[in-house]
Chain A
Amino acid sequence: SYVLTQPPSVSVAPGKTARITCGGNNIGSKSVHWYQQKPGQAPVLVIYYDSDRPSGIPERFSGSNSGNTATLTISRVEAGDEADYYCQVWDSSSDRGVFGGGTKLTVL
């Protein structure tokens, strides 16, 4: 089965840029989606199809995907961005959804 690997934690100072990676075998050939989850809340979609933003998501959120790594980039990080972030793909070979292990973003 397809496996997505994320770093458990990323720390960044306010105003700086955070980069959260999601590794998978030839993940560049798949569409990657990203979700933000704050404590006690449901996940919220922040990036879909590698780099598209849903309406209402700030332009500070962007994504890229190539080779074996997809990346969620958050520019000019704010305290309110502190959350867990999950990447997700659809594994067409097994016809099921796959999530990464999640990355806790801490704003210092």
Chain B
Amino acid sequence: QVQLVQSGAEVKKPGASVKVSCKASGYTFTNYAMHWVRQAPGQRLEWMGWINAGNGNTKSSQNFQGRVTITRDTSASTAYMELSSLTSEDTAVYYCAREEGSPYYFDYWGQGALVTVSS
């Protein structure tokens, strides 16, 4: 069965960076793109970006002004999302989600990783 298992909760200081991992199992990792979506407390889901796990091509939302870096390690079937220059507004649960279909939807989601930014 498809599973996406994310790294644990993190507490970071303003200005720092955070890197969240998402380990995939139950399917061929390089056959699907992986997306990242975040949800601030009480807020809507916000799409952050995606990576083609096969060729490594990425795209990030302009809302993050170049602060998002998405990478993958095919040998570990793991995708990563790094967010830099953190502020309190980046406090959120960060999800990875597997892409399916065209146009795209997200058929499997990780359990989420809470990132708290606090001085």
Contact = CB atoms under 8 A, between A and B. Distances in A.
B35 interface: yes
A48 B59 contact: no
Dominant SS among interface residues on chain B = strand
Contacts of A54: 107
B43 to A, nearest CB: 9
The number of chain A residues touching the other chain, given as a range, is 20 to 34
Secondary structure at chain A's binding surface: helix, strand, loop or mixed? strand
Interface in A69-108: 86, 88-90, 92, 95-102
Interface of B: 35, 37, 44-47, 50, 59, 61, 95, 97, 100-101, 103-107, 109-112
Interface of A: 30-31, 33, 35, 42-45, 48-49, 54, 86, 88-90, 92, 95-102
